[in-house]
Structure 1
Amino acid sequence: MSLIRPEARSEREVRVRAPGKINLSLRVGRREPDGYHPLSTVFQAVSVYEDVVASAGTGLTLTVTGAQADRVPTDETNLAARAARALADHVGLDADVHLHIHKEVPVAGGMAGGSADAAATLLACDTLWRTGLPREVLHELAAALGSDVPFGLLGHTAIGTGRGDQLAPALSRGEYHWAFALQAEGLSTPRVYAAFDDLHPTVRAVPGSDVALLQALRAGDPHAVGLALHNDLQEAALELAPGLAEAIAVAHDAGALGAIVSGSGPTVAALARSRQHALLLAAAFTAAGVADSVLTAVGPVAGARIIQSGHE
């Protein structure tokens, strides 16, 4: 553990932006004795963002605004608060910081909004406190917080293995335009995995790979990417929220190149031909009444990055 002198702290405010994600593919292996499932996934970061502002404070405090803010805890169970605490403990400082989160990513929507908050907080507090940790150390802290947190730091397009936290950048060309059908009621990730276990009691221990998808991304071919979208958890998510099947059908009827439940759901992600087509897909979701709200976005985008740093 490295120790940082208290006088090395900086009285500044730091704003960091981190993206939500979708899983272009998510393959799940048999649950291991520790309760976790081995994964093989292809992440893409999309332009639906969480902003975290870290500023000097006494003790650790947290406030939240934005989409579904009322559903986000503001005590130390919040993943961002846990991230600040983990970094402070690692460097031997008191976690004196106020965190303000402004949300765009849906809560419990399968797009890793909480993980984006944690990734943004690690970078924001590292900058605020001038602790200067290498990216690989931030990655280690991120992985200890949750499987999707390291990707919040990396962004772009990446292959995830292990629990999803072991990352390798994936070659990807071009832009991909998305429309998202959002639900007001989230899905619990542990419940979705439990349903997966019930549906697939004999699934193999090591998940498969995604050669066709990775080739499509390297070629920058959105049509081929749409055909290669895959989610082993989709059947389980549909078991718990059957109405999501209608959202997928609406997307296909409106000409989506592909449509899939994002991660553990319940967000449905539809791949569009263009930015204009993404708007049409969003309108189709709304007109059919299959979404409580809609978003459009583009990917891939960068991971957590500082967008403001200076004296208050």
Structure 2
Amino acid sequence: MTSATPASVTVRAPAKINLHLGVGAPRADGFHPLLTVYHAIGIYDDVTVRPADSWSLALEPAPYVDAADVPLGDDNIVFRAATLLAGLHGRPAHAEVVIRKDIPVAGGMAGGSADAAAALVALDRLWGVETSDEDLFRLAAELGSDVPFALMGGNALGTGRGEVVESVRGGDVTRWWVVVTAHEGLSTPSVYRHFDALRPDASAQPAPPHRLVAFLADPVEAIAGLLHNDLQDAALDLRPELRDVLAAGERAGALAGIVSGSGPTCVFLCGSGDHAREVAAGLDGAGEVVLTANGPVAGAHLVDY
């Protein structure tokens, strides 16, 4: 007996930060080899899907998210995710979809990837197609380098162009972060191009972050000096005002600060929830929005309202 189609399905997926982001010289296919330590934090996008006779996509942005920055046509990654999943199962990509977006746009926190991962899980449940984990991760990798991690969550080592993910230790140790968003996003391709200009001698393969992975489950002070981002110099060169944000985080008492991914969001490691709130208060006005979050958190998962 076929189960009834649910009236709606909501799936939540987290933002990511890179505790380590090593970048190699471009490969023959144009992608950069990455060696990264992903960390999922408690800033989320929710994707809600409902049965429909056609496709529709709407956005409910947080007050600090500019709706104009999110395309809602065929170029939205959620539409691409739906098309791939529907194609795998030989069915039409029909659904009414609403994205509740709290992850900053073009902020280096993989908000689009979170939406794609959430859509894959939500539509799989809505359509009752029971996609295997292997196929979900294969579709996720086709959609983008960060999408497989958005499915997995927690802490993970990412290789290839970031799409090959393996869970690593430290998942039972909570870390606290302050997140400072910028008034204007940064294009990821432009940051990579600038990295290539600044680092024409980049190695074919980035060095592995052995010490960071070894210390992930240790006290927070053990990892504070090990946060690293090969794209940070390129992001700071393109947006020099981010240096002031990082300096402000240091003055506010953060244990460490780093540009998140390709930027321009900056994230600051703190010793506790109370410490994060103190640092956030000291950073008020340093960016468009100052948020606190903990991690690691789960990847894309069903939400019951």
TM-score, normalisation: structure 1:
0.94
Alignment of structure 1 residues 246-265 onto 2, 5 Å: 246-265=244-263
Alignment of structure 1 residues 189-204 onto 2, 5 Å: 189-204=188-203
Cα deviation digits, residues 279-303 of structure 1 (max 9, x gap): 12112221xx321111100000000
Measured at CA, do residues 94 and 8 of structure 1 come closer, stay the same or move farther in structure 2, by a change above 3 Å?
farther
Note the C-alpha offset of 1:58. Answer: 2.2
Instruction: Answer yes or no: is 1:103 the counterpart of 2:101.
Output: yes
Aligned to 1:118: 116
Aligned to 2:302: 306
Q: Percent identity?
A: 46
Alignment of structure 1 residues 1-312 onto 2, 5 Å: 10-67=5-62, 68=65, 69-172=67-170, 173-219=172-218, 221-286=219-284, 289-308=285-304
Report the secondary structure of 2:263's partner residue: coil
* Structure 2: 5+ residue stretches without partners: none
Equivalents in 2 of 1:38, 1:199: separation in Å? 17
Cα deviation digits, residues 78-124 of structure 1 (max 9, x gap): 11111011100111000011110001100000000000000000000
Q: Match of 1:111, as an amino acid?
A: M
Equivalents in 2 of 1:230, 1:212: separation in Å? 12
Equivalents in 1 of 2:41, 2:151: separation in Å? 13
Equivalents in 1 of 2:143, 2:4: separation in Å? 24
* Structure 1: 5+ residue stretches without partners: 1-6
> Between Structure 1 and Structure 2, how many residues are aligned?
300
Cα deviation digits, residues 193-250 of structure 1 (max 9, x gap): 000000000100011111111121032x211111100000000000111011111111
- Contact residue 61 and residue 75 of structure 1 kept, 8 A: no
Note the C-alpha offset of 1:308. Answer: 2.9
CA RMSD of aligned residues (A): 1.3
Cα deviation digits, residues 131-160 of structure 1 (max 9, x gap): 001111100000000000000100000000
Q: Match of 1:155, as an amino acid?
A: G
Equivalents in 2 of 1:257, 1:152: separation in Å? 26
Equivalents in 1 of 2:268, 2:96: separation in Å? 37
- Contact residue 252 and residue 283 of structure 2 kept, 8 A: no
- Contact residue 18 and residue 303 of structure 1 kept, 8 A: yes
Report the secondary structure of 1:218's partner residue: coil
Equivalents in 1 of 2:96, 2:71: separation in Å? 15
Aligned to 1:3: none
